[in-house]
């Protein structure tokens, strides 16, 4: 019996030795392994923007340049109505007012450009030498008395000069005649006006619709 125990112990010791030699403390496979670094995901290529369809630019030009101009008043022969649309920024039209001498005198002055045919227009620019009252821009297909549509009204916000440039846009409209006219806003005193309505250049931006259709 003792011999059996001795053999058993020897066998047990032998097993322990083998375990130590072969690593019975657990399978190497069970050891925690440093996880293999996962490959960095490749960047998903950003979707390329679908290019916006590019609108064909409108062939806007100054359709008032060199066109016939009339006005209700010309200060002198040097400041005639045509000077407001001759394309020369050094020449000007001036309509004289007696407002300072006679506060009850009518401030109103007007100037009309005949574009000579119908255009689609959508903005204007005025190079003032001086103006201290309100003004409107009206358009018409015929130029007749009741045919005018107001596309801009300064409504009391007035370009008190000198040498101010005002540019305004409006909804595109078909027109042949463009009228600039002044008036005294209700908030303006009779004495607030300057006796001149003076414009270096009235620029009207537009295009010929019939030419656009052939592009």
Residues binding Ca ion (CB under 5 A): 83, 86, 88, 91, 201
Of residues 184 and 198, the one with the C-beta less far from Ca ion: 198
Of residues 92 and 184, the one with the C-beta less far from Ca ion: 92
d(CA 151, CA 172): 9
Element containing residue 22 per DSSP (H, E): helix 2-22
Least distance (Å) from Ca ion to the CB of residue 192? 26
Least distance (Å) from Ca ion to the CB of residue 51? 42
Of residues 125 and 153, the one with the C-beta less far from Ca ion: 125
Of residues 164 and 173, the one with the C-beta less far from Ca ion: 164
Of residues 138 and 201, the one with the C-beta less far from Ca ion: 201
Of residues 88 and 187, the one with the C-beta less far from Ca ion: 88
Least distance (Å) from Ca ion to the CB of residue 188? 27
Asked whether 107 and 99 are in contact (CB, 8 A), the reply is: yes
Q: 109 exposed, middle or buried (CB, 10 Å; 0-12, 13-18, 19+)?
A: buried
Half-sphere exposure at residue 93, Cβ-oriented, CA atoms within 13 angstroms? 26
Least distance (Å) from Ca ion to the CB of residue 153? 24
Asked whether 154 and 183 are in contact (CB, 8 A), the reply is: no
Half-sphere exposure at residue 73, Cβ-oriented, CA atoms within 13 angstroms? 18
d(CA 147, CA 39): 75
Residue nearest to Ca ion according to CB distances in the complex: 91
Least distance (Å) from Ca ion to the CB of residue 92? 6
Token readout for 166 is 């005002």
Least distance (Å) from Ca ion to the CB of residue 142? 26
Residue 152 CB: number of other CB atoms within 10 A? Answer: 18
């Amino acid at each position: 019996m003792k011999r059996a125990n001795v053999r058993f112990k020897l066998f047990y010791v032998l097993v322990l030795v083998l375990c130590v030699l072969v690593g019975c403390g657990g399978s190497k496979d069970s050891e925690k392994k440093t996880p293999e670094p996962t490959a960095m995901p490749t960047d998903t290529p950003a979707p390329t923007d679908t290019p916006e369809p590019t609108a064909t630019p409108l062939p806007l030009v100054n359709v008032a340049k060199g066109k016939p101009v009339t006005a209700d008043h010309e200060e002198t022969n040097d400041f005639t109505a045509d000077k407001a649309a001759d394309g020369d920024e050094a020449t000007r039209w001036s309509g004289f007012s007696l407002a300072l001498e006679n506060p009850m005198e009518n401030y109103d002055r007007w100037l009309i450009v005949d574009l000579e045919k119908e255009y689609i227009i959508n903005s204007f620019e005025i190079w003032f030498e001086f103006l201290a009252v309100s003004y409107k821009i009206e358009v018409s297909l015929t130029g007749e008395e009741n045919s005018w549509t107001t596309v801009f009204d300064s409504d009391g916000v007035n370009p008190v000069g000198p040498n101010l440039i005002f540019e305004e846009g409006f909804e595109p409209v078909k027109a042949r005649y463009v009228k600039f006219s002044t008036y005294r806003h209700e908030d303006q005193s009779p004495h607030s006006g300057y006796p001149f309505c003076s414009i270096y250049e009235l620029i009207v931006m537009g295009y010929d619709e019939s030419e656009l259709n052939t592009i």
